[in-house]
Amino acid sequence: MGFTKYPKIPLSTKDMPDLPAGAEWIVTEKLHGANFSVACDADGKVEFAKRSGPLPLEEDFYSFRSQRLDRRLQEPARRVRALAVRCGLAASGDSVCVFGELVGGHYPHPDVNPVPGLQPVQRGVWYSPDLRFIGFDLAVTPHHQPPRYTDFDAAASCCEAAGFLFAAVLARGTLPHCLESPIRFSSRLPARLGLPSLEDDNLAEGVVVRTAREGLPLRTLLKRKIDEFGETRYSSPNWAAAKSGGARAASGPHDLLRYEAMARVTESRFEAVESKTGRLDAADKVACRKVLEDLKEDVRLALVEDGVASSEAALAEALSQELCDELDRACRGLIGSVVGRRARQERSARGVGG
């Protein structure tokens, strides 16, 4: 059973193929967790994966094995494949994979008991005291062929019948209608799980807008995030003017590139990078080095994807050694700050001073 990496979701429609005229679109909540998938082959073998690759038996990704989530998902994975074959979504020899988000691990409500020793997958939105897997896509993979994604409604029906939680539709209609759907709202997931509301707003990360049907040459979906979860933060409110030449802060291309690069060294970006491999252990120097390099690479890719540089080659040519060193220091500082704050929070939660 080969591993399929879930594609990165763009932030806009600008890089999409010709958008299908008259297509039905849907809106779902974008959950703030770690990309996770559960696959089952024709022999009933079940495998798990994070965004960057399959999870070996010894890897306890965000405690999903120690919390026995792997055992709880085994039978739903076999059932969803059997249902997909029965409904004609898959052939008898195909593998089936449910893509989704691993969330939870903390829910700060006085009437909800914590799970001892469990840390949240992500912070900023609270979903559940225990770990939960919420599906949002179903892919069918014939032998030695690329995956084929299933229409959303069929995927949701099949996955829910098999026992998976699946993304709920918040709005449905034309693309303009769905793009007008609010992105600032309290997460709907805790209520689905029967949990009491929190005192604060517990804002959702944002939404995913996508076509209800698949089958186009390229998939058509995009994400829209609220500012609090944006992966680019400009330090100056005048930076928009500086980009268009209306401010004195930027004196040349080097300054423009520097400001754009530093704006992408954010905690949200670090958390997104970290979620691909698992929670960072500050004592694991190899893991720390990998996350550092992954974060710098993600910043560089974002500069190209966001149109700051025309290509990776053009960016490499424009990046001076001085700017590379500054990016390295900024990423190191961010990682150290986040990991240090987490350590203090964990000591405080255990009642340990310092």
Confidence category of residue 144, pLDDT binned at 50, 70, 90: confident
pLDDT at 354 exceeding the cut of 70: no
- What's the pLDDT tens digit per position in 269-308? 999 899 888 888 888 999 999 999 999 999 999 998 888 8
Mean pLDDT of 260-276: 90
User: Do the Cβ atoms of 183 and 206 come closer than 8 Å?
Assistant: yes
Confidence category of residue 347, pLDDT binned at 50, 70, 90: confident
In CATH, which superfamily holds the domain spanning 25-228? DNA ligase/mRNA capping enzyme (3.30.470.30)
pLDDT at 12 exceeding the cut of 70: yes
How many angstroms separate the Cα of 154 from the Cα of each of 9, 20, 133, 173, 212? Answer: 21, 20, 19, 17, 10
Site of tokens 């980009």 = 243
Lowest-confidence range among 15-19, 40-44, 236-240, 297-301? 236-240
Q: What is the pLDDT of residue 341?
A: 86
Q: What is the pLDDT of residue 167?
A: 98
* Residue 268 CA neighbour count, 13 Å, CB half: 15
pLDDT at 332 exceeding the cut of 80: yes
Confidence category of residue 246, pLDDT binned at 50, 70, 90: very low
pLDDT at 244 exceeding the cut of 60: no
Higher-confidence residue: 310 or 104? 104
Cβ neighbours around 91 below 10 Å, total: 12
Percent of the chain topping pLDDT 70: 90
User: Do the Cβ atoms of 4 and 149 come closer than 8 Å?
Assistant: no
User: Do the Cβ atoms of 205 and 30 come closer than 8 Å?
Assistant: yes
Percent of the chain topping pLDDT 90: 65
CA 329/CA 319 separation, integer angstroms:
15
Mean pLDDT of 240-261: 64
48: Cβ–Cβ under 8 A, 6 or more apart, which residues?
36, 37, 38, 39, 54, 55, 61, 64, 70, 73
* Residue 184 CA neighbour count, 13 Å, CB half: 4
Mean pLDDT of 234-262: 63
Site of tokens 């500054």 = 326
- What's the pLDDT tens digit per position in 173-231? 999 999 999 999 999 999 999 999 999 899 999 999 999 998 765 678 899 999 888 88
66: Cβ–Cβ under 8 A, 6 or more apart, which residues?
60
Structure tokens at 99: 């893509």
- Give the bridge partners for 40, in sequence order: 46, 96
User: Do the Cβ atoms of 101 and 136 come closer than 8 Å?
Assistant: yes
- What's the pLDDT tens digit per position in 45-76? 999 999 989 999 999 999 999 999 999 999 99
- What's the pLDDT tens digit per position in 78-95? 999 999 999 999 999 999
pTM (2 decimals)? 0.82
pLDDT at 241 exceeding the cut of 90: no
